[in-house]
Amino acid sequence: MISIRLLVSALTIAGAIYAQAPLQTCTVANIRGIPVAGKFCGGSIAANSCTPGAVYDCQSGPAGTKNNCKLVQLCSTGCTQALASQAIASCSTGTAPLTVTPLNLLGGSDVNLNVNLAAAHTGAIINLKINRGDLIPGAFCAVPPLADNQNTANFALSTAVVAAPTVVPVFTDVTYGDSAGRLAESVSRAQQVTLQPGGVEPPVPPISSFTLTPNSVGPAGISFANVTLASKAPASGVQIALQSSDPTVASIIQNGQPMVLGSCTQSQVVESVQAEASVPQPAVVNISASSGAAGQAPVTAPLSISNGCVPVACSGGPTCGPQSNGCGGVINCGCSTPGETCGGGGSANMCGSGVPAPTALTFSPSSVVSGSSSTGTVSLNMAAPAGGANVSLSSSNSLVTVPATVTVPAGQTSATFTATTTSFSAGTLSVNITAGGSVTVSSVLTVTANPTSACTPTTCAAQGVTCGTAPDGCGGTLTCGGTCASSPVNITVTASGKGGKVTSNPTGINVSSGNTASAGFAPGAQVTLTTDDGHGAIWSGLCSSNGLAAQTCTFTVSASGSISAVMQ
């Protein structure tokens, strides 16, 4: 049995060879670009840049020479090519190598093709070349086999509905072994098929058979859906819809719905169904298939799944670190994207590129007598970039003061600062010192009273406090009146840069790039500012990102002030 293969070559064959007027010159060369001498049949393998069905006389020459062939004869139906010591070509005689009927038809109707090979032959392969495979599809599936010395093959192809008259040229190149054992070719003239508007696509055919291969899988196993239609598909093809009776055991793979291409009857081979990785007990799941044909119920096929569990593999991101393997165990996952590490962006168990963020804050000594100082050390998760990395500092008690920021020098992973305490004569304070912005670390500095210190308590009036309580400066507390009413603190945000806008949570700030907005927030409230463009901003002022781009910036409201967001 000899196979027949159709090739759609809209992109590889120059449009000029389909023209009704033959090319007067063309090029025939070997794979090294050296022109080949002899008589060649246009449209054959060697002369595929020449007009199909025409005979050309070709001359040799230096490598790279173009148009070494001249038209000798435009044959009435086609030509034959024999490759012996020298290429020999002549016009075909007898029955035409290709007959297409009708040549003028409504788009959506069938076009019938008759391929004829009169010569004695073995190992024939018929290449049907169509410059618009989208309008006349089926090149790889719709042709019947041709046995040795069988002279004809008849078949029909679907055509597409068109909005305007459209010409689709078609020709054949039949390669075979002739009676002398030589490689030979029979090439037809190009047939001009004209599709007319006004046609309709035929209805979708029903499914004649549906199987799964294999029909039995283990956990995480994959099965391929095989669908055969009762007749060939319309030119636009038929999308088969699959459904699982129990998706918790076996589900349809995304983009795994099989497709029957135009003029074909069988679906393409795709991975269609996958069993879950963990199956506690053996199960049978029914998979149904529907072509959408009117009046046909979905066709079903059973899929057997054995019990067991296949551990899941690490995805390489965006999540990382310890994760469940789906079978009761734990796997430790890393990041596959170059330059990213687990937690590198400052978020635990998330992959990210290296963004400097504080990882530790310590004091030496960690306990001091009031009136003395302690040295704090801030450590980063990576070496600071060029220009250094600024880390914000804050204290929970006014009797312990720290700088607003400390700079980690470029190339270093830590920096020190001084925490200064105010002397008081009684009691002990545990003061929380915080370092960082969107990612923070904190440490407690213990400050004990200095009983030998002479301390004169301050007053409420001296501090401008008229309600609530206030420290007396000597370790005690002053009562300055009734409970203070909470007054909003005004925060101003200025957005600039490449566009987008900044919003706040709690709500209040909503400002686009190039503008400034203000809102009041309760003292002690934690406010998060967010950009909406996905690229982040460089934050500075009351909320700082240390010179790096970040999508959010979080701070605690204590006093009025301003924030700058430069969009990236």
162 burial (CB, 10 Å; 0-12 / 13-18 / 19+) is: buried
- Across the range 326-331, mean pLDDT stands at 90
Q: Answer yes or no: is pLDDT of 130 > 60.
A: yes
318 is written with which tokens? 């965006």
Q: Answer yes or no: is pLDDT of 466 > 90.
A: no
Residue 221 corresponds to which amino acid?
A: G
Q: With bands split at pLDDT 50, 70 and 90, how would you rate the model's confidence at 458?
A: confident
Q: Quick one: pLDDT at residue 1?
A: 30
Rounded Cα distance between 42 and 51, Å, is: 5
- Across the range 79-102, mean pLDDT stands at 91
Please list the alpha-helical segments (H only) found in 417-522.
460-463
- Report the percentage of the chain scoring pLDDT > 70: 92
Rounded Cα distance between 553 and 534, Å, is: 14
Q: Answer yes or no: is pLDDT of 2 > 50.
A: no
CB distance 235 to 135 below 8 Å: yes
Rounded Cα distance between 473 and 449, Å, is: 12
Choose among 433, 410, 432: nearest CA to 547: 410
Q: Answer yes or no: is pLDDT of 15 > 60.
A: no
Q: Quick one: pLDDT at residue 475?
A: 60
Choose among 296, 289, 124: nearest CA to 205: 296
More confident residue, 427 or 484: 427
425 is written with which tokens? 């004569």
More confident residue, 461 or 408: 408
Q: Which of 126-135, 444-453, 506-515 bottoms out in mean pLDDT, i.e. has the lowest?
A: 444-453
Rounded Cα distance between 341 and 330, Å, is: 19
Q: Quick one: pLDDT at residue 483?
A: 67
What digits encode the pLDDT tens for the residues 390-420?
A: 999 999 998 899 999 999 999 999 999 999 9
Q: Quick one: pLDDT at residue 14?
A: 41
213 is written with which tokens? 């291969």
Q: Quick one: pLDDT at residue 457?
A: 72
More confident residue, 488 or 195: 195
* Pairing of β 549-550 and β 537-541: antiparallel
Residues in the chain: 568
Q: What is the pTM of this model?
A: 0.58
* Pairing of β 340-342 and β 516-521: unpaired
Choose among 212, 226, 236: nearest CA to 267: 226
Q: Answer yes or no: is pLDDT of 484 > 90.
A: no
Cis peptide before 403 (omega within 30 of 0): no
Rounded Cα distance between 446 and 419, Å, is: 11
Cα dihedral 539→545→551→556 (10° resolution): -80
Rounded Cα distance between 336 and 313, Å, is: 13
What digits encode the pLDDT tens for the residues 342-396?
A: 877 767 888 887 778 888 999 999 999 998 999 999 998 888 888 888 999 999 9
Instruction: Please name the residue that has the structure tokens 């290429």.
Output: 87
Rounded Cα distance between 274 and 278, Å, is: 12
How many other CB atoms sit within 10 Å of the CB of residue 173? 27
Q: Quick one: pLDDT at residue 524?
A: 78
Q: Quick one: pLDDT at residue 454?
A: 55
Q: Which of 218-227, 251-260, 479-488 bottoms out in mean pLDDT, i.e. has the lowest?
A: 479-488
Q: Which of 112-116, 152-156, 313-317 bottoms out in mean pLDDT, i.e. has the lowest?
A: 313-317
Q: Quick one: pLDDT at residue 298?
A: 96
User: Which residues, at least 6 apart from 462, have a Cβ–Cβ distance to it below 8 Å?
Assistant: none
Query: Which CB contacts under 8 angstroms, 24+ apart, belong to 279-283?
Result: 279/218, 279/219, 279/249, 279/305, 279/306, 279/307, 279/308, 279/309, 280/307, 281/307, 282/306, 282/307, 283/246, 283/249, 283/250, 283/307
Residue 297 corresponds to which amino acid?
A: A
Residue 21 corresponds to which amino acid?
A: A
Instruction: Please name the residue that has the structure tokens 């983009």.
Output: 255
Residue 563 corresponds to which amino acid?
A: I
Rounded Cα distance between 285 and 166, Å, is: 48
Q: With bands split at pLDDT 50, 70 and 90, how would you rate the model's confidence at 67?
A: very high
Q: Answer yes or no: is pLDDT of 522 > 90.
A: no
- 390 CB-side CA count, 13 A: 15
- Across the range 508-535, mean pLDDT stands at 87
User: Which residues, at least 6 apart from 338, have a Cβ–Cβ distance to it below 8 Å?
Assistant: none
- Across the range 127-155, mean pLDDT stands at 90
Secondary structure element (H or E) that encloses residue 140, with its range: none
- Look over the chain and give the mean of its residue pLDDT values, rounded to a whole number: 89
Q: Answer yes or no: is pLDDT of 517 > 80.
A: yes
Q: Quick one: pLDDT at residue 5?
A: 36
Q: Answer yes or no: is pLDDT of 245 > 80.
A: yes
Give the 3-state secondary structure of residue 84. Answer: coil
Rounded Cα distance between 327 and 346, Å, is: 30
Q: Quick one: pLDDT at residue 9?
A: 34
Q: Answer yes or no: is pLDDT of 460 > 80.
A: no
Rounded Cα distance between 299 and 315, Å, is: 36
Q: With bands split at pLDDT 50, 70 and 90, how would you rate the model's confidence at 13?
A: very low
* Pairing of β 440-448 and β 428-436: antiparallel
135 burial (CB, 10 Å; 0-12 / 13-18 / 19+) is: buried
Q: Quick one: pLDDT at residue 432?
A: 92
